[in-house]
């Protein structure tokens, strides 16, 4: 067992863990936060997406012990003081979910995506005019988050409605 | 948000479970926590099959850190024989695992390692050594056509085969004849939530949190497998992370968890890994479909013959019916349909979203497109020309058929302007093509019950063992109750997914909303009558009343509910009996899909540019969630046309494509802007709500519309699905 200290959704955790434990299993099993989901455990579906030090990652592919001192945000940490994050509200309003299993990952991914675009980080579809919040940019950047129910179009719409938001 | 209490059904109300799902609070089976902790089970799969286990060494696994127990056929608690009783049907029969030293198929569990943590269980599982003495197996129906049999029944149809009219004469006298065969690939439903079960025993009672579509048949499956009373099985499944058919019945992890919990004396979770799913979950078999179509010079269909050959998992009776849409789509002088199956030593073959139609419209609607082209008739006109006036095979009247409305509306909205010469429309280096196809899906009603209880504070609780697998059940049931009782939706609480609640047929076959909704409608109507009686007794005679915040509003008066129904409240039970509806009528949901694709003129890469659907599914219960389901179906159709295939290594009967890197479902960027149009309707013969099934309709027709567009883009007819770039590459037009 190895000691690990990290901050999840604003709370500092000091734990002893199996070095084989992934960040996803740490959050779900050790800390009991069940929002992030395990859809494939291979980094292929995105249901486990968390925001670590401001960047989204597939938490199932990352060993927890590599996150000493890191700051992690899960879907539970998107809302503040009981108030939904604008993306969460937009996902409800645009029906950007069906079964909801991929939703925690979609939301974390979307929140980080808004920041990436604001910072001007390019993607494979970014043209010469530069990064902009186009449907094609959103689609490309959300393609690491699978949704078998097929809520993709509503997810794009939900992200567009809040893309100007500063939160 | 307060809804108007007069008309709520059909309104695009936000999903009532939306807040729970966007905050991570919705509890799926694998999220369930148990006081005292949960041990983790990890499946050890058979590395070869069929055959006999000749060596199984678990000593190292048992000695590994944290291991609680290792279950094998030598140590597993008593079960009833797999498949018994035979007349029970596949969902409720015994699903025994680790039964004996036989292994039926590749990947079948040969052991379950239970440890304190997942890491310990997974490592210990790697220490189990197993040796199988294999025998000759049947893995691919196409290699064993001589073993093809007529199955006892096919999914969703009354008849396995039909032979209406004189096919040989009509075909031989046809002016235009098409004779084609198609291969459709095996598929896995690939719900985002893998199959997972948390089981624990409280004395003689088994308590299970599982991902399931139909609660009641899962209760029977446990009882039949473990030899216990159904009353001693409790299943709880408030949220299921997608099903698409794969969670209709129970699978190996469900039984393993129950056995392990018994053996270990504590709660055990068995979560199938994504890789497990491809052997321990169900799949859609690959099919060989042969079509012979004949038409006269004007394009009138004379002869249709559709036969299908596929694999059935040995000892698991399920046969998909791809010729189902062929029986009901178009009028023809002769229509013959056949389904044949070969018993194979492969994982379970079972329903996957729109069984029959998903792969049946894929072939039939592309063959129709090809025949229309041969006849020189526009594909839209061809379909209008062959519209039947009654169900072509049964001869029954249609309960409600507005396919032509769908087709004409779709053609107008899409801007269909007839076909161009295939391979002639270019945009840069992209070949652009358009295509269309019809969607059809049988509409059924299943028995269901519901109970409602109104409390003195004005809150209504509705309970059914129905599930919400992402379909929006919580929401539409809330709307039905609120409208029927003239009360705000915010005061309705729908509780689902518990075997202690009244029985329904669950989620499947697109019957969920109509069936559970009709039962709830009945319960609410009965509650309303009872409340009316109480009003009359208290001296207020009113034809209509509304409820809000614990008061009844009638005849301009406000009466406290507490005075009418007392502290104990008022309850009612409701039900729906399918025998009372759509008797002797052919009942289907309909639609049409139009697609535009681009094919890279150099690489053959196919991208969908537009997909537009127009659907008629009777009365729409929630315009927002209905549209979402239809869109999801259309996206599933993109997968079926272009992406999804579970490839089997036919030497060993093992699927090779066992994760999302190999089994490709559509990702966000594979999907263009989708247009969904829904005709307003009310199907009075279908059920008391007037609604029809919608969950599978969107897939039907989407794939063939895309394939037909690929043909117009390139001039190439690909008669296998999915259509890949390599199928086009050496046949692309020189441009």
Distance CA B526, CA B84 (A): 40
- Domain(s) labelled CATH 3.10.20.30 in chain A stretch across 2-77
Token look-up 């950007």 returns A96
- Asked if the Cβ–Cβ distance from A97 to B635 is below 8 Å, we say no
CATH class, A2-77 region: alpha beta
Average pLDDT over every residue of B621-625: 98
Distance CA B403, CA B440 (A): 9
Average pLDDT over every residue of B709-729: 97
pLDDT at A164: 60
Say which of A91, A99, A152 has its CB closest to residue B22: A91
* Residue A27 Cα, gap to closest chain B Cα (Å): 12
Q: Which residues contact B652 (CB under 8 A, 6 or more apart)?
A: B48, B106, B139
| Alpha-carbon dihedral angle through residues B223, B229, B235, B241, given to the nearest 10 degrees | 10
Average pLDDT over every residue of B210-227: 98
* Chain-centre distance for alpha carbon B460: 30
CA angle B717, B718, B720 (to 5 degrees): 150
pLDDT at B582: 66
Contacts of B637 in chain A (CB under 8 A): none
Q: Which pLDDT band holds residue A129 (cuts at 50, 70, 90)?
A: confident
Distance CA B446, CA B469 (A): 17
What are the structural domain ranges in chain B?
Answer: 37-136+190-280, 287-443+583-731, 445-580
| Closest among A31, A94, A19, A57 to B120, alpha carbons compared | A19
Distance CA B442, CA B586 (A): 8
pLDDT at B515: 97
Average pLDDT over every residue of B178-198: 98
Q: Any idea which fold A86-162 has?
A: DNA polymerase; domain 1 (1.10.150)
Rounded to 5 degrees, φ, ψ at B528 are -65, -45
Percent of chain B with pLDDT over 70: 99
Rounded to 5 degrees, φ, ψ at B147 are -95, 5
- Asked if the Cβ–Cβ distance from A32 to B118 is below 8 Å, we say no
Mutation for B interface: A89, A101, A106, most B CBs within 10 A? A101
Contacts of A78 in chain B (CB under 8 A): 23
Contacts of A100 in chain B (CB under 8 A): 17, 20-22, 26, 239, 241, 470
The radius of gyration of chain B's CA atoms, rounded to the nearest angstrom, is 27
Burial tier of B419 (Cβ tally within 10 Å: 0-12, 13-18, 19+): buried
Dump pLDDT digits (tens) for B305-338.
999 999 999 989 999 999 999 999 999 999 999 9
Rounded to 5 degrees, φ, ψ at B418 are 85, 170
Shared fold status for B37-136+190-280 and B445-580:
yes
DSSP H or E run through B494: strand B492-495
Average pLDDT over every residue of B151-158: 92
Q: Which pLDDT band holds residue B86 (cuts at 50, 70, 90)?
A: confident
| Alpha-carbon dihedral angle through residues B205, B210, B212, B217, given to the nearest 10 degrees | -10
Arch. (CATH architecture) of B37-136+190-280: 2-Layer Sandwich (3.30)
Q: Any idea which fold B445-580 has?
A: Aldehyde Oxidoreductase; domain 4 (3.30.365)
Rounded to 5 degrees, φ, ψ at B463 are -130, 135
Residue B224 has pLDDT above 60, yes or no: yes
The CATH number that domain B287-443+583-731 falls under is: 3.30.365.10
Dump pLDDT digits (tens) for B631-673.
999 999 999 999 999 999 999 999 999 999 999 999 999 999 9
Q: Which pLDDT band holds residue B543 (cuts at 50, 70, 90)?
A: confident
Rounded to 5 degrees, φ, ψ at B670 are -80, -10
pLDDT at A161: 93
- Domain(s) labelled CATH 1.10.150.120 in chain A stretch across 86-162
Residue B1 has pLDDT above 70, yes or no: no
Residue B369 has pLDDT above 60, yes or no: yes
Q: Which pLDDT band holds residue B4 (cuts at 50, 70, 90)?
A: very low
Residue B283 has pLDDT above 80, yes or no: yes
Tell me the ipTM for this assembly. Answer: 0.97
Distance CA B604, CA B24 (A): 42
Residue A166 has pLDDT above 50, yes or no: no
Distance CA B699, CA B189 (A): 13
Dump pLDDT digits (tens) for B466-499.
999 999 999 999 999 999 999 999 999 999 999 9
Residue B157 has pLDDT above 90, yes or no: no
Mutation for B interface: A8, A148, A151, A160, most B CBs within 10 A? A148
- Asked if the Cβ–Cβ distance from B274 to A104 is below 8 Å, we say no
Distance CA A1, CA A19 (A): 7
* Chain-centre distance for alpha carbon B590: 17
Per-chain mean pLDDT for chain B: 96
User: Which letter does DSSP use for residue B332 in this model?
Assistant: -
Q: Residue B655: helix, strand or coil by DSSP?
A: strand
């Amino acid at each position: 067992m190895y000691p690990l200290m990290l901050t999840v959704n604003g709370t500092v955790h000091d734990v002893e863990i199996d070095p084989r434990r992934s960040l996803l299993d740490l959050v779900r099993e050790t800390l009991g936060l069940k929002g992030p989901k395990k859809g494939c455990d291979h980094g292929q579906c995105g249901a486990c997406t968390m925001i670590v030090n401001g960047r989204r990652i597939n938490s199932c592919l990352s060993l927890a012990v590599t996150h000493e001192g890191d700051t992690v945000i899960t879907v539970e940490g998107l809302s503040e003081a009981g108030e939904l994050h604008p993306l969460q509200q937009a996902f409800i309003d645009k029906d950007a979910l069906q079964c909801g299993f991929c939703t925690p990952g979609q939301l974390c991914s979307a929140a980080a995506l808004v920041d990436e675009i604001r910072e001007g980080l390019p993607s494979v579809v970014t043209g010469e005019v530069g990064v902009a919040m186009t449907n094609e940019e959103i689609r490309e950047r959300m393609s690491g988050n699978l949704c078998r129910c097929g809520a993709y179009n509503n997810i794009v719409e939900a992200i567009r409605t809040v893309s100007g938001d500063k939160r | 948000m307060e809804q108007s209490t007069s008309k709520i059904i059909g309104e695009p109300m936000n999903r009532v479970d939306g807040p729970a799902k966007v905050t991570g609070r919705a509890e799926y089976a694998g999220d369930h926590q148990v006081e005292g902790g949960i041990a983790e089970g990890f499946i050890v799969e058979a590395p070869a099959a069929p055959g006999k286990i000749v060596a199984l060494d678990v000593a190292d696994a048992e000695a590994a850190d944290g291991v609680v127990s290792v279950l094998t056929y030598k140590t597993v608690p008593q079960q009833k024989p797999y498949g018994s009783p035979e007349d029970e049907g596949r969902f409720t029969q015994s699903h025994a695992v680790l039964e004996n030293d036989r292994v039926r198929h590749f990947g079948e569990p040969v052991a379950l390692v239970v440890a304190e943590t997942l890491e310990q269980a997974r490592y210990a599982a790697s220490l189990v050594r197993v040796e199988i003495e294999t025998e000759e197996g049947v893995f691919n129906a196409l290699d064993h056509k001589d073993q093809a049999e007529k199955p006892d029944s096919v999914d969703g149809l009354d008849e396995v085969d039909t032979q209406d009219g004189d096919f040989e004469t009509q075909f031989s006298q046809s002016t235009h004849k098409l004779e084609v065969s198609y291969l459709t690939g095996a598929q896995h439903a690939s719900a985002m939530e893998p199959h997972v079960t948390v089981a624990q025993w409280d004395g003689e009672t088994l308590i299970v949190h599982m991902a399931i579509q139909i609660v009641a048949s899962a209760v029977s499956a446990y009882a039949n497998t473990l030899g216990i009373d159904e009353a001693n099985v409790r299943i709880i499944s408030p949220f299921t992370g997608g099903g698409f058919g794969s969670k209709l019945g129970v699978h190996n992890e469900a039984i393993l968890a129950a056995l392990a919990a018994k053996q270990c004396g504590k709660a055990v979770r068995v979560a199938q890994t994504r890789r497990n799913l491809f052997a321990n979950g169900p799949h859609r078999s690959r099919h060989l479909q042969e079509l012979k179509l004949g038409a006269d010079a004007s394009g009138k269909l004379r002869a249709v013959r559709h036969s299908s050959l596929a694999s059935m998992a040995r000892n698991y009776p399920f046969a998909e019916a791809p010729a189902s849409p062929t029986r009901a789509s178009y009028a023809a002088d002769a229509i013959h349909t056949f389904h044949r199956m070969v018993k194979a030593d492969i994982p379970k073959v079972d329903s996957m979203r729109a069984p029959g139609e998903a792969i049946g419209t894929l072939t039939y609607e592309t063959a129709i497109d090809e025949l229309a082209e041969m006849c020189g008739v526009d594909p839209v006109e061809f379909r209008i020309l062959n519209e039947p006036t009654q169900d072509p095979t049964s001869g029954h009247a249609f309960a409600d058929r507005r396919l032509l409305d769908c087709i004409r509306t779709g053609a107008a909205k899409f801007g269909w302007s007839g076909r161009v010469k295939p391979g002639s429309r270019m945009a840069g280096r992209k070949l652009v093509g358009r295509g269309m196809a019809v969607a059809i899906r049988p509409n059924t009603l299943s028995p269901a019950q519901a109970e409602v209880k109104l409390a003195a504070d004005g809150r209504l609780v509705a309970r059914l063992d129905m599930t919400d697998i992402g379909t929006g059940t919580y929401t539409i049931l809330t709307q039905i109750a609120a409208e029927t009782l003239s009360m705000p939706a915010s005061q309705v609480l729908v509780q689902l997914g518990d075997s202690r609640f009244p029985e329904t047929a669950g989620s499947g076959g697109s019957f969920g909303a109509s069936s559970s909704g009709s039962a709830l409608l009945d319960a609410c109507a009965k509650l309303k009558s009872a409340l009316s009686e109480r009003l009359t007794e208290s001296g207020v005679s009113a034809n209509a009343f509304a409820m809000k915040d614990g008061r009844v509003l009638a005849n301009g008066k406000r009466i406290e509910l507490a005075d009418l129904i007392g502290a104990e409240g008022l309850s009612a039970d409701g039900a729906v009996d399918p025998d009372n509806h759509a008797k002797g009528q052919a009942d289907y949901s309909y639609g049409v899909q139009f697609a535009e694709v681009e094919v890279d003129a150099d690489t053959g890469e196919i991208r969908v540019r537009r997909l537009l659907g127009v659907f008629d599914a009777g009365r729409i219960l929630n315009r927002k969630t209905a549209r979402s389901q239809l869109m999801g179906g259309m996206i599933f159709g993109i997968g079926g046309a272009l992406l999804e295939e579970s490839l089997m290594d036919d030497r060993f009967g093992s699927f090779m494509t066992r994760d999302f890197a190999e089994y490709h479902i559509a990702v966000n960027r594979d999907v263009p802007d989708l247009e969904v149009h829904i005709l307003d309707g009310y199907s009075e013969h279908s059920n008391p709500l007037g609604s029809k099934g919608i969950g599978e309709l969107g897939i039907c027709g989407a794939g063939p519309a895309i394939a037909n567009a690929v043909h117009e883009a390139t001039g190439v007819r690909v008669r296998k699905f999915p259509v890949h770039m390599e199928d086009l590459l050496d046949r692309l037009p020189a441009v």
